[in-house]
Amino acid sequence: MVDCAADRAFWDYYEALKSVNVDAVKSLLRLLAGVRGGGGNVLTATPSFHFLSSGAVSLDKGSEPDPDGADGYVASKWAAETFLQRASQCLNGAVQINIHRPLPLRDDQVTHAEQQTTTDSNTAAATETILRTLLSLTHALRIRPEFGSVASGYLDLAPITDVASTIVSNILANDDVSAEQSTDGVRFFSHKGQVRVHLEELARVMDADEGLTALRPVNALDWFGEIKKAGFDYFITSHHLVMRHGGEEISSRR
């Protein structure tokens, strides 16, 4: 069983995301454990549960998120991981738990100055391909992003086919060798970004395209949601958004 569904709201509190990001994980694992242990069971192999988490959990070194619940998405992924690790001990091998963490291009938390240095390490061709794809999809959708209060940040990306193929390979291998880490019966897999696109650079490219000026402006986050639906074939392994309004600054990371 593969659980890659989530409510990926940027600013919602933990309680608003708990039903989808935590409670659903519990229900799915109970369902799988029930199939394994139910009467008339015909399964001969140990069933496996694969959960797509967030790399921000590992960036916090597994520590519990702030109790105010403000960083709801990361808190929900931490809670789901914690449940799965405890459940693995209780199930005593009846279900193999696997946690997949999309990760930044770099493991550490990157400052703005370091972000610019990291961009230089990316191949120009990969960045150009992504920007060209985003421009093409923007023209096709007939909408353009308004970055407005988005002050800075970046997106770490990997081709969706690469990520999907790796997860499928992990599932088929079903052994500890393919895992980066195995703790208390739980296997951990990492999926790192391959290229980093800075939002300042993306905004400059959009502003320089005169053909976009006549298009209907939409919020940058809503725009990117539409871009993904329209066929953007890259997976966001990590992001860091900095929003600034009225002298106040908030950030969102995944």
What pLDDT digit, counting tens, does each position of 165-185 carry?
999 999 888 777 777 888 888
With respect to residue 165, please indicate whether it lies within any of the assigned structural domains: no
Give the lowest-confidence range in 2-11, 161-170, 204-213, 234-243: 2-11
The verdict on 75 and 127 lying in the same domain is no
For the chain, give the mean pLDDT: 84
The verdict on 226 and 131 lying in the same domain is yes
The verdict on 129 and 151 lying in the same domain is yes
With respect to residue 93, please indicate whether it lies within any of the assigned structural domains: yes
* Domain final residue, candidates 35, 69, 103: 103
DSSP for 184-225, please give it. Answer: TTEEEEEEE-SEEEEHHHHHHHHHH-GGGTTSEEEEHHHHHH
pLDDT digits (tens, 9 = 90+) for 32-64: 998 765 555 555 678 999 999 998 888 765 567
The verdict on 200 and 234 lying in the same domain is yes
Q: Using an 8 Å Cβ cutoff, are 156 and 237 in contact?
A: yes
The verdict on 76 and 112 lying in the same domain is no
The verdict on 123 and 225 lying in the same domain is yes
* % of the chain beyond a pLDDT of 70: 85
- For residue 65, give both structure tokens: 């998120």
The verdict on 61 and 129 lying in the same domain is no
pLDDT digits (tens, 9 = 90+) for 193-227: 999 999 889 989 999 999 999 999 998 888 988 99
Q: Using an 8 Å Cβ cutoff, are 24 and 5 in contact?
A: yes
Closest of 221, 186, 187 to residue 202, by C-alpha: 221
Q: How many domains does the chain have?
A: 2
Backbone φ, ψ for residue 110 (5° rounding):
-100, 130
The verdict on 116 and 232 lying in the same domain is yes
Higher-confidence residue of 129 and 117: namely: 129
Q: How far apart are CA 137 and CA 160, in angstroms?
A: 17
With respect to residue 179, please indicate whether it lies within any of the assigned structural domains: no
The verdict on 120 and 12 lying in the same domain is no
- Is the pLDDT at 67 greater than 80? The verdict is no
Residue 206: CB atoms within 10 Å: 20
CA angle 130, 55, 76 (to 5 degrees): 120
Burial of 104 (0-12, 13-18, 19+ CB in 10 A): buried
Give the CATH number, domain containing residue 16.
Answer: 3.40.50.720
- Banded model confidence at residue 83, pLDDT cuts 50, 70, 90: very high
* Domain final residue, candidates 103, 124, 141: 103
* Domain final residue, candidates 62, 87, 103: 103
Q: Which domain holds residue 114?
A: 106-159+194-254
The verdict on 121 and 223 lying in the same domain is yes
